[in-house]
Amino acid sequence: MKNPQEFIELTERMQKLFQDRDNSYTLCVVIGEIECALLRFLHKINRPLRMREIAKMYEISNAKVTRVLNKLVQMGFVERYHSENDRRSWFARITDEGSKMAENTKYKLSKFQEEVLELIPEEEIDKTYDYLKLFVDAYEKIITDSSE
């Protein structure tokens, strides 16, 4: 039989995984869907883009692109810089931190769940679910009972 310390360590690991996942999910809620979509797009293409190219692709005004990018720049997810050839032209490029956040946004959450399930042998999935549910239900009951 496992001792309580082993359960504590396991639940702490699980809690950290879910916390990381939830932080990424809430990023899109906090910064907005268009900002999140742009962040994922810049991550996917992995090259600097002219701001007017972004406006054209998303069919939004240059002013809207500026507002969206200002928010992403302020958060450290994107950087902007002048074109070397045309000082009136600006480029946007995703930062390392922005790439990290883009990889973990809602866009990938369902894929993560699928990948996790693929690592569990098919004949063990129902049993794993039942045991996890039993554990979560017990955990929830203790927390609920202790708060009353």
Encode pLDDT of 52-100 as tens digits.
899 998 888 989 999 999 999 999 999 999 888 877 788 999 999 998 8
The DSSP 8-state label assigned to residue 92 in this structure reads E
Residue 133 lies in a domain: no
Residue 114 lies in a domain: no
Cβ-Cβ contacts under 8 Å for 82 (sequence gap 6 or more): 89, 90, 91
What region does 82 belong to: left with phi over 0, alpha with psi -120 to 50, or beta?
beta
Residue 64 lies in a domain: yes
Number of domains in the chain: 1
Enclosing domain of residue 42: 4-107
Residue 120 lies in a domain: no
Residue 116 lies in a domain: no
CATH number at residue 78: 1.10.10.10
Residue 148 lies in a domain: no
Residue 125 lies in a domain: no
Q: What's the pLDDT at 94? A: 95
- Tens of pLDDT, residue by residue over 110-137, are 677 788 889 999 999 999 999 989 988 9
Residue 62 lies in a domain: yes
pTM (2 d.p.): 0.57
Q: What's the pLDDT at 21? A: 66
| CA pair distance 8, 31, nearest whole angstrom | 34
| CA pair distance 142, 146, nearest whole angstrom | 6
